[in-house]
Amino acid sequence: MTERTERTVQAGQKPQARSTEAVAAFETAGPSAVSDCKGFEVKHLVKQYANADKPVLNDISFKVEHGTVLVVLGPSGSGKSTLLRTIAGLEPIQGGTISINEKVIDEGRPGTEKAGRSNRSSELRTRIGMVFQSYDLFPNKTVLGNITMAPLLVQKRDKAEVEAEALKLLERVGLADRKDAWPHELSGGQRQRVAICRALILHPEVLLLDEITAALDPEMVREVLDVVLELAKAGQTMLIVTHEMQFARAIADHVILLDGGHIVEESHDAHAFFAHPETERARQFLRTFEFE
Amino acid sequence: MAFDWSFVQRYAPFFVNGTVMTIFISVFGILLAIAVGLVCAGVEIARVPVARQIVRAYIELSRNTPLLVQLYFLYFGLPKLGVVWSAETCAIVGLGFLGGSYMAEAMRGGLESVPKVQRETAYVLGLTPVQSITRVVLPQAISTAVPGLVANVIFLFKESSVVSAIALADVMYMAKDLIGMYYSTYESLFMLVVAYLVILLPISILGTWLERRFDYARR
């Protein structure tokens, strides 16, 4: 999707009052308008652990256009989470490149198999947001404290401005009244919505969501996924790992299926992918979600 | 034998002196223990090679030998090697040696209780390693470690009674002395119990307050 079509999507939201507000609230948190809108790209990425005989990720390449959503599917152990972790800088890569708007932010170097993390700068890290499967709010901070910590400490932004934006984001996810609550007082779904706000306030170019509803009770899944759907409409570039197939189908602009560290199928037409996958592996994978 | 209040009145000043000595020895011993514990926990968490094995050996040695034996070694053993320390120094070093391992284990437990994803989240949010430790890891580690640390402080205060064995005039020594001289078992033991309660009840109350103060890490 190009910049122009993304604008059309946003314009299309205008008639609905609720969504307009969502776009407005999420727009401030979304990718900065100054970026040249080229998107996010991974080329020939290799991830190898020190004591493994073959790489966890082998020659992975894909591009996510600015303002679009890539859904990464695959059986467990296929390397989906590892892929998101390498993109977030939590795992150093041994080959290939990761770039934002054609600027390389991480380059593979052999010999880093044992290293803990990529050595990218604080500033670069704030450009890629990530929400994990486990409820990872800081238990020693209130909801507001969790959200405002990084913008104040890392981006050195003005406190009043940061708090105002945090409140706006909380309002968007329906949690403005819980701003002074402690994480242990919130439900899993509420915590994940706060975690999304905490990532958004840094205005990341890309937001990575790693099975963010996998640990939630079924009735809380919806409230979190609705927030993600609204974000997609507002033009937030995202990479999503999920096992919620209905959700994946609804949100994806672009799908890749990983298996054994390789991309076995890639599609820029999500509906076609779910309806008529091209490879036998994809058909077999999608069948596991059917009950008839 | 009736309880002799006049004896209590006459010898109470001795117990005050002994109590001051107990507090003096314990406070410095505990501070030393905390310092030793910090270093050991740091070495273990950072997995410093060699130093880590030394720390493990020290912890096993310190926890599996009685304080009395440690004190005898410092007070009677070291002079044979040409190192002569005062009874006070031996008592403080002994308490620090014993307490250091307990403090190290409590601190390590606190640090290890912080899930890895907390540090990963801090990293992804752009926090520097120092910010990640001071703003995310330590507050949670302290929250988990505080009950154990408070228990260790109380344990070391009580354990300081052993220093009377190397002729240091702490509150325990006073009691043993007065019982030996005047057979004043009831009165002396009464004053001894009161002295320990006067020291430890406020610490216990403070500890409970601290535990509540740092109890935000409940999940």
- From the list B99, B94, B95, B26, the residue with the least C-alpha distance to B59 is B99
B8 occurs within a structural domain: no
d(CA B81, CA A189): 66
Q: Which of A123, A125, A136 sits opposite B117 (nearest CB)?
A: A136
The pLDDT, as a whole number, for residue A5 is: 41
User: Which amino acid does the sequence have at A234?
Assistant: A
Quick one: CA dihedral B169, B98, B51, B114, positive or negative? negative
Q: Which of A90, A134, A198 sits opposite B123 (nearest CB)?
A: A90
B104 occurs within a structural domain: yes
Rounded average pLDDT over A144-166: 95
Tokens of B17: 């002196």
Q: Which of B128, B131, B140 sits opposite A140 (nearest CB)?
A: B140
d(CA B187, CA A72): 78
Here the CATH number for the domain that contains residue B157 is 1.10.3720.10
Residues of chain A positioned with their CB less than 8 A from the CB of B114: none
CB A266 within 8 A of CB A255: yes
Report yes or no: A140 at the B interface, CB cutoff 8 Å. yes
- Kindly list the distances between the CA atom of residue B88 and the CA atoms of B66, B94, B166, B203, in Å, as whole numbers in the listed order: 18, 10, 9, 23
Residue of A nearest to B121 (CA): A136
| Nearest-5° Cα angle at B75, B73 to B79 | 90
- From the list B44, B27, B31, the residue with the least C-alpha distance to B141 is B44
Question: A175-234, pLDDT tens digit by residue?
Answer: 999 999 999 999 999 999 999 999 999 999 999 999 998 888 888 898 999 999 999 999
B2 occurs within a structural domain: no
The pLDDT, as a whole number, for residue A19 is: 35
Distance in Å, alpha carbon of A292 to nearest chain B alpha carbon: 38
Rounded average pLDDT over A55-72: 92
Distance in Å, alpha carbon of B124 to nearest chain A alpha carbon: 6
d(CA A277, CA A287): 11
d(CA A47, CA A83): 8
d(CA B86, CA B94): 12
The pLDDT, as a whole number, for residue A32 is: 47
Residue A136 binned pLDDT confidence (cut-offs 50, 70, 90): confident
Q: Which of A136, A153, A182 sits opposite B131 (nearest CB)?
A: A153
CB atoms inside a 10 Å sphere around CB B195? 22
Residue of B nearest to A136 (CA): B118
Distance in Å, alpha carbon of B138 to nearest chain A alpha carbon: 10
Highest mean pLDDT pick, A35-44, A69-78, A160-169, B205-214:
A160-169
Tokens of B186: 């009831």
Residue of A nearest to B140 (CA): A140
Mutate to test the interface with B, among A91, A136, A210 (most CBs of B within 10 A): A136
B5 occurs within a structural domain: no
Distance in Å, alpha carbon of A167 to nearest chain B alpha carbon: 19
Count CB pairs under 8 A between chains A and B: 72
Distance in Å, alpha carbon of B54 to nearest chain A alpha carbon: 25
**Whether A129 and B115 lie within 8 Å, measured CB to CB:** no
The pLDDT, as a whole number, for residue A276 is: 87
B134 occurs within a structural domain: yes
d(CA B140, CA A96): 37
**Whether B125 and A150 lie within 8 Å, measured CB to CB:** yes
B179 occurs within a structural domain: yes
Residues of chain A positioned with their CB less than 8 A from the CB of B120: 90, 132, 136
Question: B69-91, pLDDT tens digit by residue?
Answer: 999 999 999 999 998 999 999 99
3-state class (DSSP) for residue A46: strand
Residue of B nearest to A139 (CA): B217
Question: A266-284, pLDDT tens digit by residue?
Answer: 999 888 898 888 898 998 8
Q: Which of A88, A123, A138 sits opposite B124 (nearest CB)?
A: A88
User: Which amino acid does the sequence have at A51?
Assistant: N
Report yes or no: A129 at the B interface, CB cutoff 8 Å. yes
pLDDT surpassing 80 at residue A35: no
The pLDDT, as a whole number, for residue B218 is: 55
User: Which amino acid does the sequence have at B83?
Assistant: V
| The total number of structural domains that make up chain B | 1
**Whether B123 and A155 lie within 8 Å, measured CB to CB:** no
Distance in Å, alpha carbon of B218 to nearest chain A alpha carbon: 6
pLDDT surpassing 80 at residue A154: yes
Residues of chain B positioned with their CB less than 8 A from the CB of A88: 124
At the top level of CATH, the class of A3-136+204-217+227-287 is alpha beta
- From the list B140, B116, B147, the residue with the least C-alpha distance to B218 is B140
The pLDDT, as a whole number, for residue B8 is: 87
Mutate to test the interface with B, among A120, A133, A140 (most CBs of B within 10 A): A140
d(CA A237, CA A65): 8
The pLDDT, as a whole number, for residue B46 is: 86
Q: Compute the residue count for chain B.
A: 219
Residues of chain B positioned with their CB less than 8 A from the CB of A130: 121, 124
Cβ contacts of B41 within 8 Å, gap of 6 or more: B103, B104, B107, B108, B111
The pLDDT, as a whole number, for residue B168 is: 87
B212 occurs within a structural domain: yes
The pLDDT, as a whole number, for residue B44 is: 92
Tokens of A215: 């640990």
Cβ contacts of A80 within 8 Å, gap of 6 or more: A72, A73, A74, A210, A241, A258
3-state class (DSSP) for residue B143: helix
Rounded average pLDDT over A17-44: 56
Residues of chain B positioned with their CB less than 8 A from the CB of A154: 125-127, 131
d(CA B126, CA B118): 13
pLDDT surpassing 80 at residue A27: no
The pLDDT, as a whole number, for residue A9 is: 40
The pLDDT, as a whole number, for residue A13 is: 39
Tell me which residues of chain B have a pLDDT lower than 50.
Answer: 219
pLDDT surpassing 50 at residue A22: no
**Whether B127 and A90 lie within 8 Å, measured CB to CB:** no
Q: In what order do the strands lie in the sheet with A206-210?
A: A128-131, A206-210, A237-241, A69-73, A254-259, A262-267
Distance in Å, alpha carbon of A234 to nearest chain B alpha carbon: 22
Rounded average pLDDT over A247-270: 91
Domain containing B48 equals: 13-217
Query: Tokens 């640990």 appear where?
Result: A215
Mean pLDDT of chain A: 84
Rounded average pLDDT over A50-69: 89
Quick one: CA dihedral A174, A15, A67, A258, positive or negative? positive
